[in-house]
Amino acid sequence: MINWFGKLTGGLKKTSDKISGGISDIFFGKKIDAATIEDLEEILLLADMGYQATTEIIKKFSAQKVDKAADISAIKQKLADEICTILKPCQQELVFSNETPQIVLLVGVNGAGKTTTIGKLAHKFKGKQISFIAGDTFRAAAVEQLKVWGDRNHIKVYSGTSGCDAAGLCYDGLNAAIKNGDELVFIDTAGRLQNKADLAEELKKIVRVIKKVIPQAPHHTLLCVDATGGQNVLDQVKTFKEICGVNGVIMNKLDGTAKGGILVAVAHETKVPIYYIGVGEGIDDLQEFNAQSFSRSLLGL
Ligand SMILES: Nc1nc2c(ncn2[C@@H]2O[C@H](COP(=O)(O)OP(=O)(O)O)[C@@H](O)[C@H]2O)c(=O)[nH]1
Ligand SMILES: [Mg+2]
């Protein structure tokens, strides 16, 4: 537990240094007044919380009867509570039914961490009979990368030749997985094709083919996003939801940014479940998203 919390606070350090450190600077020896509130607003915006979430947090914070000369930790506590209220609806557990195989489709732009997340998730769910389908047939390196994660976890990887039809590979891979009695199948996909329309077409085709094999699948379509992408991340959530009915988000690379507030913006704007957060490149660097721990860590509490 200590290790888990340590990883979370470590992973969010860049963002929390900015937010928590900034708040300490603003309120040190000062009262809560219009000027300090304005500075506070700027800090939240700079952390990429977005205009709407920031406005809501500030409004609620200002409306509370906070002692004008409240100590800094009381201020941080109140802000953490407001942020937690926004995040809470997005805290959901990724669950699988007993019906097998359960199919998880990973989507997202290039570099968002899809392949890495598959490796990390397989580790989380070890004990189940898992397989991977290397659906990013666009880049040979992507198949190799998935195989490395597969080898590490002793997991079978269904792959085709480079440049082969991804939907066709999914069809064959799923049938092989069923035959093999696999319980959990993660499907990797390409994040970049010639253009957005091509990517949308390919993903739709993959989903259609998956449904041909298993009508209820994919049981989860998870969107990986890169937290360093700023407000772009919001667009990605909306776009991929439209294309392939994303039902959950995994926000990676929170360790690499001081703008981890983007998660708050995503929660506020889209209300999409956020199943996990990525706080590093290692196999253990994927954490279940917990609204309270996350908001407390942001505030350095
Ligand atoms: N620091 C950090 N790096 C990550 C995280 N998740 C993925 N990466 C790295 O980001 C790069 C792109 O990841 P990859 O899984 O290949 O992305 P994909 O193109 O969506 O499949 C790789 O170098 C990963 O090691 C994370 O949570 N933190
Ligand atoms: Mg990849």
Tens digits of residue pLDDT in 27-38: 998 888 999 999
> What pLDDT shows up at residue 45?
97
Mean pLDDT in residue range 275-285 = 96
| pLDDT exceeds cutoff 90 at 265 | yes
User: Which ranges in the chain are annotated with CATH 1.20.120.140?
Assistant: 2-90
**Residue 174 CB partners (closer than 8 Å, separation 6+):** 101, 103, 133, 185, 210, 213, 214, 217
Instruction: Give span(s): CATH 3.40.50.300, the chain.
Output: 102-289
Q: Is the pLDDT of residue 198 over 80?
A: yes
List pocket residues of ligand 1, CB cut-off 6 Å: 108, 110-116, 145, 191, 224, 252-253, 255-256, 278-281, 285
Residue in 35, 69, 40, 72 with CA at minimum distance from that of residue 57: 40
pLDDT band at 115 (very low <50, low <70, confident <90, very high): very high
For 158: left if phi > 0, alpha if psi spans -120 to 50, otherwise beta; the answer is beta
Query: Quick one: pLDDT band at residue 68, thresholds 50, 70, 90?
Result: low
Report the topology of domain 2-90. Answer: Four Helix Bundle (Hemerythrin (Met), subunit A) (1.20.120)
Pocket test for ligand 1, best of 116, 252, 263, 275 (most atoms within 8 A of CB): 116
The CATH label, of 3.30.70.3270, 3.40.50.720, 3.40.50.300, 1.10.3660.10, for the domain at 102-289 is 3.40.50.300
**Short-list 187, 256, 190, 183, CA closest to 226:** 256
Of 281, 283, 286, 287, the one to substitute when testing ligand 1's pocket (max ligand atoms within 8 A of C-beta) is 281
Q: How many CB atoms lie within 10 A of CB 126?
A: 11
Whole-number mean pLDDT of the chain?
94
pLDDT at 193 over 80: no
pLDDT of residue 101 exceeding 70: yes
> Looking at the DSSP assignment, which residues form a beta bridge with residue 287?
277
Pick the residue whose CA is nearest to atom 19 on ligand 1. 111
Q: What's the residue count for the chain? A: 301
- Whether pLDDT at 1 is above 60: no
pLDDT of 239 strictly over 80: yes
Distance 110 CA to ligand 2 centre (A): 7
pLDDT-derived band at 189 (thresholds 50, 70, 90) equals very high
CA–centroid distance, 119 to ligand 2, in Å, is 11
Mean pLDDT of 52-56: 98
Q: What's the pTM?
A: 0.96
